[in-house]
Amino acid sequence: MRVAFFVTCLADQFFAEAAADAVRLLRSLDIEVVFPRGQTCCGQPAYNAGHWDAARKMALHTQQVFEGYDYVVLPSGSCTTMVRAYTPGLFAGDKPHYTAALDLAERTYELSEFLVKVLNVEDLGDGLRGLKVAYHHGCHVSRELGIKSEPVGLLEAAGAEIVPWQADNECCGFGGVFSVKNVPVSLAMADHKLDTLPEVDVLTSADGACLMHMGGHAKKRGLDIKVRHLASLLWEARNG
């Protein structure tokens, strides 16, 4: 089985080690992982801001890069949702591109989802024994794609304790262009997340952007909150 790894622009620049962990993890499960050259960004930032021409341009580029692979796996919930749920709509009325978008959508998976649904892996190892974890459900991946039990199940199977968090499925306030256009509200939302966060060893999520937003704001506030990407924790589950 050959898997094309779509690192996504944000993980490429800011969660590069976690992305590498995702590749290591997949390879440890005997998956052949390739990294198609020329890949960049799924187009979500432009899409969410309303600049659909720009978004289309990026989506077309992504379609080209990932043509022909059995599976495309992403270490990012939100970008997975862009490819799966939003991109086809960008090409409504443009049959060939719409079909191509749907075709890519069908082959695209978020990392933990790919492990559980395609590889049928439910237990990676017990490398997270005793680790107290707060899991942030990214909005798009949990609501649009319904991916919730996969990451949590894998963490638990690895011995992590998922500490109940009343706000675990609430938006962290990032929202792409939102966090730039409405800074105070975006930060107030992050505050709500941080203020309700239980005592844990680590805060994790399948979405790097959310972790960056919450983690960065926690740092600004001087809070001691350790943030790690889901991919790294899953690799540690197997390898730790």
Which residues are near another protein by CB under 8 A?
Answer: 7, 9, 11-17, 19-20, 23-24, 27, 35, 37-41, 43, 45-55, 57-58, 60-61, 139-140, 143-144, 170-171, 173-190, 192, 212-213, 216-217, 219-220
- Residue entry with tokens 């379609």: 63
124 DSSP 8-state letter: -
- Which lies closer to another protein via its Cβ, residue 46 or residue 133? 46
Q: What is the dihedral of CA 128, 232, 115, 58, to 10 degrees?
A: 160
- Which lies closer to another protein via its Cβ, residue 35 or residue 106? 35
Report, in Å, the least distance between residue 54 CB and another protein. 4
Report, in Å, the least distance between residue 176 CB and another protein. 7
Report, in Å, the least distance between residue 130 CB and another protein. 27
Environment class of residue 118 by beta-carbon count within 10 Å: exposed (0-12), middle (13-18) or buried (19+)?
Answer: middle
- Which lies closer to another protein via its Cβ, residue 151 or residue 175? 175
The answer to whether the CB of 19 falls within 8 A of the CB of 225 is no
- Which lies closer to another protein via its Cβ, residue 9 or residue 118? 9
- How far apart CA 63 and CA 45 sit, in angstroms, is 17
- How far apart CA 240 and CA 235 sit, in angstroms, is 8
Report, in Å, the least distance between residue 191 CB and another protein. 9
Map residue 229 onto helix, strand or coil: strand
Longest C-alpha distance within the chain, in Å? 52
Report, in Å, the least distance between residue 4 CB and another protein. 13
Map residue 177 onto helix, strand or coil: helix
- Which lies closer to another protein via its Cβ, residue 6 or residue 71? 6
- Which lies closer to another protein via its Cβ, residue 75 or residue 151? 75
Report, in Å, the least distance between residue 138 CB and another protein. 9
- How far apart CA 106 and CA 225 sit, in angstroms, is 37
